Amino acid sequence: MVKASKTASIPEKEQRLENYNKVVAAAELGGIQLVQLAFDVSPEFYAKRDEAELGYVVTPESSMYDEEEGFAACIINFDVAATVDEEVLLRCNAKYSVMYKVAEPCDEEAVNAFLKRVGIFACYPYFRGVFANLDWAANACLPPLPIHKEAPKPKPKVRKKSNRAIATNDV
């Protein structure tokens, strides 16, 4: 019995890449809008700010594509927390809408992949600036948020051939 591959075949991968590249060529940034913002600082934060650990999470929440209108958009959620002993003492949450004009019809799956990947990088600098202003206004004195980087894709594991001798018990 032949097992079906869990990963896409080479022609499928090439087609998905071709579809994605078509979106890259056809898409033009239409706008970035802050659509929701919440900022909360516990008074306890100021006494413990030197101990605070700062972290952030970026989550693409939803996306849509209207092929007839040549319009695509996504919502990206940013959540920053300063914690001390796992207690959140400062939190900032923001949502951005990122919109693109898409000059020609494209594969919907490729458009959604583009929105989720590129949309984050399009609006992260805006969020980083907003957070810096809120940090300043609250006198929180936190370090700037880091540059956002895409997590590297894991390399496929390749079995290494062993070149060591195998001992046998020939007596």
Give me the CATH number covering residue 119. 3.10.420.10
Flag whether 62 is in a domain: yes
What's the CA gap between 136 and 127, in Å, rounded? 14
Per DSSP, the three-state class of 142 is: coil
pLDDT for the residue numbered 42: 96
The answer to whether residue 94 is domain-embedded is: yes
Tell me whether residue 15 is in a domain. Answer: no
Q: Indicate whether 54 belongs to any domain.
A: yes
pLDDT in the model for residue 137:
97
Residue that is written with structure tokens 């959620």 in the block: 77
The torsion angles phi and psi of 53, rounded to 5 degrees, stand at -105, 130
Position 171 scores a pLDDT of 43
Does residue 6 lie in a domain region?
no
* Domain presence at residue 43: yes
Residues 130 and 132: their CA atoms lie apart, in Å, by: 5
Q: What pLDDT is recorded for position 166?
A: 44
In the chain, the number of structural domains is 1
Classify residue 61: in a domain, yes or no. Answer: yes
Domain that holds residue 115: 28-137
Residues of the chain with pLDDT under 50: 1-3, 5, 162-171
What does the pLDDT read at residue 11? 84
User: pTM of the full predicted structure?
Assistant: 0.78
Does residue 104 fall inside a structural domain?
yes
